């Protein structure tokens, strides 16, 4: 029997799942050329029209079946019909069949591959999504070409889908969802259509694992940890028992949710706010269920998903108003759209950039595109009337940039004859956080976005499997930067939160409390866990324990962090309904 193998990928949809490996799809790039005779051209083109119509009907059937599930946006499937009817796609397939005398499958794959190469070369998140859409349509057409009747396939046992190409929605929709425990795929991002669909069905997904066939065979038992991006192939009894414990922890987690629908205090009586990071109005419901003390971050750029044009002020107003009403008078921080990087709307005319994460994005765009800036601010201010809300600006680099942005917000408020909202900075650019003191007299609150901040400080893309080992939130140098920022805010009486993934990792909770953090902003489902840990911490002892932070550079990070947690929390982490490395 082959030994256990652990593969490391990128978490796309969180959760745990285990089952037998079931392989799905072939890579579009793997084409073998098949020739036809000239008299077969007419039959191939007629067959092309037939399978396009079959695929179109199939997508419409999916839309009809999914329309009763209000949590699923079926508009993502409309895109595939547009591709099927795209004159450029149709024309190139017909031309390839006619002039190169390739059979229909070869022609579809060759043309699809050419589209994909052009999309990938563009280097933006929008075109990467178009690349995955092309894979979806190609595989759908090929399935009908091989007489697939389109009926849903079921399994006798739970399975883990192993996708040897870009993950697509049909990879889920073609099978009995109740038997799909998880998905492991070569590629596919968190905002892809397939990921959105998987999230709707609570199917965990891990992406970014190349050469899957070198490690996994059909029928192998596979256990997927999509919290950390680990995939265990032929897991040992120890790993399986750990997973079973996690599965049984669901009831314990529900009890924690009920317990912590109230404020939390440390052992020595210090109140800590645990806020929620959300993207959609429905997320606010989950935040309330999980005991959020408010909403610390609304990622408004998700309002742009699958839109063909910038939403009007009225559409934005309704979106923000819905979130604020669900917040139920608790504080709510709305971040201005962080357009750029990996979040580029379909309709936005974005110039090509070699490094979009450090290019034209967020406030840099808004200060040039004043109409977009003013429209969003006006919608937020109108929606915020009679609510406890604030506006947060991402990617601020200099004080002057902040002052210019603040002046625009003040101007919009004056035009509306409404009160100027509280405004704060999301510190995620190294230059800004290192000069944080200069902002103190001009801002109303602050937040630290650890995700981008670590990425910029370490020059390591956290989504790049080759270098993400450098993306380390407990690197001593980074902790000292966070400590200094928290101290600066506390000394100035400035409310400060951390809204990046560092705050949501319960291994870091005691450390952050010791550094003086009093506001966490995390995804809703981690709130009860974070609160339970906080309730077991003495803030004074935590502060004393991290006072030697300048002397830890020679100690392996995992070791001193584990020692810190054990000293402050005893066995609390081991008793929580979470997977903990101690």
Q: What is the CATH number of the domain that holds 85?
A: 3.50.30.10
**Encoded tokens for 451:** 């995700």
Spatial contact of 559 and 288, defined as CB atoms under 8 Å apart: no
Same domain, 234 and 143: yes
The whole-angstrom separation of Cα 66 and Cα 74 is 7
Same domain, 196 and 314: no
Structural domain range at position 277: 251-575
Same domain, 397 and 494: yes
- 0.85 exceeded by pTM: no
Would 580 be classed as within a structural domain?
A: no
Would 582 be classed as within a structural domain?
A: no
**Encoded tokens for 413:** 């408020």
Same domain, 335 and 355: yes
Would 453 be classed as within a structural domain?
A: yes
Catalytic residue, chosen from 138, 215, 499, 508, is 499
Longest dimension (CA), the chain: 86
Alpha-helical (H) ranges within 347-458 are 363-366, 370-383, 399-416, 430-434, 450-458
Q: In the annotation, is 138 catalytic?
A: no
| Residue given tokens 């979806």 in the structure block | 136
Q: Which of 248, 276, 308 is the last residue of a domain?
A: 248
Residue 323 parent element (H or E): helix 313-327
State whether residue 49 is helix, strand or coil. Answer: helix
Same domain, 261 and 185: no
Same domain, 239 and 387: no
State whether residue 69 is helix, strand or coil. Answer: coil
Same domain, 324 and 457: yes
User: How far, rounded to the nearest angstrom, does the alpha carbon of residue 335 sit from its chain's CA centroid?
Assistant: 16
pLDDT per residue as tens, the chain (582 positions): 578 889 999 988 888 889 998 888 655 445 567 788 899 899 899 999 999 998 888 888 877 766 655 455 566 677 888 889 889 999 999 999 999 998 898 899 889 888 888 877 765 555 666 777 887 788 788 878 766 555 567 787 899 999 887 787 777 877 788 889 999 998 877 767 788 778 777 799 999 898 888 898 888 899 999 888 999 999 998 888 877 776 667 678 888 999 999 999 999 999 999 999 998 888 898 899 999 999 999 988 877 766 677 889 999 999 999 999 999 889 999 999 887 665 666 656 666 666 666 777 778 888 888 988 999 999 999 999 999 999 999 999 999 999 999 999 999 999 999 999 999 999 999 999 999 999 999 999 999 999 889 988 988 776 666 776 777 888 888 999 999 999 999 999 999 999 988 999 999 999 999 999 999 999 898 999 999 999 999 999 999 999 877 776 655 667 888 889 999 999 998 888 765 443
- From first CA to last CA, the distance across the chain in angstroms is 30
Q: What is the CATH number of the domain that holds 534?
A: 3.20.20.60
Q: In the annotation, is 499 catalytic?
A: yes
Non-local (6+) Cβ contacts of 463 within 8 A are 10, 189, 208
Would 343 be classed as within a structural domain?
A: yes
Q: Which of 229, 248, 267 is the last residue of a domain?
A: 248
CA dihedral over 257, 263, 266, 267, signed as positive or negative:
negative
Residue 229: φ, ψ to 5°: 85, 20
Same domain, 423 and 485: yes
Would 443 be classed as within a structural domain?
A: yes
State whether residue 95 is helix, strand or coil. Answer: helix
Same domain, 413 and 466: yes
Nearest to 134 by CA among 79, 186, 189: 79
Q: Which of 188, 213, 248 is the last residue of a domain?
A: 248
Cα angle 268, 269, 271; round to 5: 130
Would 581 be classed as within a structural domain?
A: no
Catalytic residue, chosen from 138, 193, 332, 423, is 193
Spatial contact of 279 and 290, defined as CB atoms under 8 Å apart: no
Same domain, 167 and 308: no
Nearest to 489 by CA among 442, 445, 432: 445
Between helices 313-327 and 370-383, what is the axis angle to 10°? 40
Spatial contact of 537 and 267, defined as CB atoms under 8 Å apart: yes
Same domain, 463 and 422: yes
Same domain, 218 and 319: no
Count other Cβ atoms within 10 Å, centred on residue 227.
16
Would 264 be classed as within a structural domain?
A: yes
Non-local (6+) Cβ contacts of 220 within 8 A are 20, 21, 233, 234
Would 484 be classed as within a structural domain?
A: yes
The whole-angstrom separation of Cα 196 and Cα 199 is 5
Q: Domain total for the chain?
A: 2
**Encoded tokens for 473:** 């939130």
CA dihedral over 320, 323, 328, 330, signed as positive or negative:
negative
């Amino acid at each position: 029997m082959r030994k256990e193998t652990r593969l490391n990928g990128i978490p796309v949809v969180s959760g745990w799942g285990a089952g037998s490996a079931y392989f799905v799809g072939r890579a579009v790039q793997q084409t073998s050329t098949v020739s036809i005779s000239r008299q077969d051209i007419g039959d191939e083109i007629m067959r092309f029209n037939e399978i396009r119509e079959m695929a179109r009907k199939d997508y419409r059937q999916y839309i009809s079946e999914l329309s009763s599930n209000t949590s699923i946006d079926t508009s993502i499937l409309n895109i595939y019909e547009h591709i099927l009817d795209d004159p450029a796609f149709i024309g190139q397939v017909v031309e390839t069949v006619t002039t190169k005398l390739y059979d229909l499958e070869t022609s579809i794959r060759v043309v699809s591959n050419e589209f994909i190469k052009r999309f990938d070369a563009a280097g933006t998140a929008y075109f990467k999504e178009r690349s995955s859409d092309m894979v979806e349509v190609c595989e759908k057409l090929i399935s009908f070409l091989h007489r697939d009747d389109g009926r849903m396939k079921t399994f006798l046992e739970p399975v883990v889908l192993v996708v040897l190409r870009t993950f697509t929605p049909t990879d889920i929709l073609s099978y009995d969802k109740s038997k799909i425990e998880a998905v492991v795929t070569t590629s596919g991002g968190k905002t892809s259509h397939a990921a959105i669909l998987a999230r709707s069905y609570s199917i965990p997904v891990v992406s970014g694992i190349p050469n899957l066939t070198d490690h996994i065979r059909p029928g192998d038992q596979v256990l997927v940890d999509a919290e950390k991006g680990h995939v265990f192939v032929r897991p040992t009894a120890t790993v399986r028992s750990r997973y079973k414990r996690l599965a049984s922890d669901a009831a314990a987690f529900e009890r924690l949710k009920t317990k912590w629908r109230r404020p939390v205090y440390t052992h020595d009586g210090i109140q800590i706010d645990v806020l929620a990071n959300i993207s959609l109005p429905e997320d606010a419901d989950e935040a309330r269920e999980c005991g959020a003390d408010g909403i610390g971050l609304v990622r408004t750029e998700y309002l742009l998903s699958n839109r063909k044009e910038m939403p009007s002020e009225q559409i934005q107003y309704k979106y923000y108003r819905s979130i604020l009403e669900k917040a139920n008078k608790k504080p709510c921080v709305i971040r201005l759209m962080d357009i750029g990087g990996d979040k580029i709307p379909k309709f936005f005319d974005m110039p090509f950039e070699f490094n979009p994460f450090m290019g034209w994005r967020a406030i840099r765009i808004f200060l040039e595109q004043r109409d977009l800036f003013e429209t969003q601010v006006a919608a937020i201010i109108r929606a915020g009337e009679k609510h406890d809300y604030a506006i947060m600006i991402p990617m601020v680099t200099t004080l002057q940039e902040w002052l210019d942005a603040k002046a625009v917000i003040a101007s919009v408020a004056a035009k509306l004859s409404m009160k100027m909202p509280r405004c704060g900075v999301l510190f995620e650019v190294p230059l800004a956080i290192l000069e944080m003191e200069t902002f103190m007299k001009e801002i109303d609150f602050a937040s630290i976005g650890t995700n981008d901040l670590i990425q910029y400080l370490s020059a390591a893309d956290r989504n790049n499997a080759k270098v993400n080992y450098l993306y380390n939130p407990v690197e001593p140098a980074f902790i000292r930067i966070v400590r200094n920022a928290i101290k600066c805010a506390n000394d100035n009486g400035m409310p400060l939160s951390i809204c990046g993934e560092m705050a949501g990792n319960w291994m870091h909770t005691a450390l952050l409390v010791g550094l003086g953090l009093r506001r966490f902003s995390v995804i809703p489902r981690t709130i009860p866990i974070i609160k339970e840990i906080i309730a077991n911490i003495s803030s004074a002892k935590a502060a004393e324990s991290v006072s030697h932070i300048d002397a830890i550079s020679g100690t392996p990070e995992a070791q001193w962090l584990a020692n810190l947690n054990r000293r402050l929390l005893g066995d609390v982490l081991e008793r929580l309904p979470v997977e903990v490395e101690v």
